[in-house]
Amino acid sequence: MKHPKNVERYPGSLDELAREVGNMHYTSLAEFMQYLADDLKRQAVSDREKTRTKLPAELEAAAEQLYAAKRRIDSAAKICKPHMQERD
């Protein structure tokens, strides 16, 4: 499997990408984090099927951390919701 060092369809740097993702509406950011965590879980399953042990454990742990971060962003979105309605 090819693991590129950048996002092929994004012309900016990884730092710029992180800032753009971080500046998204919190509900969209949480959705993105869910997709990223789900993909890490998928990779862990694939690696486990190849009888790897250490890598899947790390990927699963990272996914769980992302799920936890997603829950915190969901909480932040709820806090901001009353203030964002007039701008959405």
Q: Where are the domains of the chain?
A: 14-84
Rounded Cα–Cα distance for residues 19 and 29 (Å) = 11
At residue 83 the predicted structure's pLDDT band, cuts being 50, 70 and 90, is confident
pLDDT digits (tens, 9 = 90+) for 11-45: 999 999 999 999 999 999 999 999 999 999 999 99
Q: Taking the model in full, what pTM does it have? A: 0.88
Banded model confidence at residue 64, pLDDT cuts 50, 70, 90: very high
Judged against a pLDDT cut of 80, whether residue 1 lies above it is answered with no
What percentage of the chain carries pLDDT values higher than 70?
94
Q: How far is Cα 8 from Cα 75, in angstroms, rounded to an integer?
A: 32
- Give 62: exposed, middle or buried? Use CB within 10 Å, 0-12, 13-18, 19+: middle
